Amino acid sequence: MQIGPHKLANPLIVAPMAGVTDRPFRKLCKRLGAGLAVSEMVSSDPRLWNTMKSQRRTDHDGEIEPIAVQIAGSDPQMLAQAARYNVDRGAQIIDINMGCPAKKVCNVAAGSALLKDEALVARILDAVVEAVDVPVTLKVRTGWDRDHRNAPRVARIAESAGVQALSIHGRTRACGFSGEAEYHTIALVKSQVSIPVIANGDIATPRKARQVLEQTGADAIMIGRAAQGRPWLFREIAHYLESGSEMPPPPIAEIRALLLGHLQELYAFYGDEAGVRIARKHIAWYTKELAGSTAFRETVNRADTAAAQFATVDGFFCRLALNHERLIYERGELAA
């Protein structure tokens, strides 16, 4: 899988997710096998660039290359300016968001709302590709709703504009995250363009990853929600694609070390107060459905300092490791 001059180590990409794919999470996923991780979306409105949120989203210190930044907006020239701004701050790939279904994004005619206006899509892509010397990629959905699946036309517009890779979430904007991903539309797009196509949606296991690659003919896959609390999923998929065999789940001792390291990165990146608050959702994802996790989360969510939170997490995993090498879930079975 290649995007412009950047040859990825494997065809596994971390999807951009607001509030999730910050620098600590991207670094962790890359270290655990992702070939690329795309940043949280950065607004194209320059009035927001000096906010603490935007400053953090454009901080790539120590990040494994290539560095991919997603930008969002609806004005071609503002998006072009945002692309230049982010390249100046270290972005090596610019990704344009035309896939987000969130109402607060679509209500300002950005994200997947742009799919309603193919002429505007073309103007945006032309402006951004012209503005920067780095590869420009695009993330879309299959269309606005089930009666307007225009991803194939948008893909051809993108290819004509010089976009160098296309990610497709296999749902319409109207679907949100409900229902099953429609891989047949991704396959149709792949058959009609020559640029790399990346399949996204409902990929949560190594077997599903291979199935989607085979079914769509895509050049790579993009994983979002399934990696929350399970960043080692990328190495599991990479191993399965290469060998055809599944890895055993990681030992409790390794998961403990990964989570504690993740917490330390969050505290360092956000500061203790914000780091503790942001860490809570990650802790919940890592421990979801584990035996004893309900009571644990009630306790850890009351921890209001980094030291207390860290110690509570450490104690929980140490207790798990006393009797089991690998994770035990609420249903009482060993993780398979």
State the Cα–Cα distance between residues 23 and 260, nearest whole angstrom: 16
- What is the torsional sign of CA 268, 273, 275, 279? positive
Contact between 132 and 164 under an 8 Å Cβ cutoff? The reply is no
State the DSSP string of 180-226. ---HHHHHHHHHH-SS-EEEESS--SHHHHHHHHHHH--SEEEE-GG
Spell out the residues 6+ positions from residue 89 whose beta carbon is closer than 8 angstroms to its own. 58, 60
Rg (CA), the chain: 20
Q: Under DSSP, is residue 89 helix (H, G, I), strand (E, B) or coil?
A: coil
b/e sequence 219-232, b meaning 16+ C-beta within 10 Å: bbbbbbbbbbbbbb
Helices then strands, counting H and E runs in the chain, come out as: 13, 11
Q: What amino acid positions are annotated as catalytic residues?
A: 100
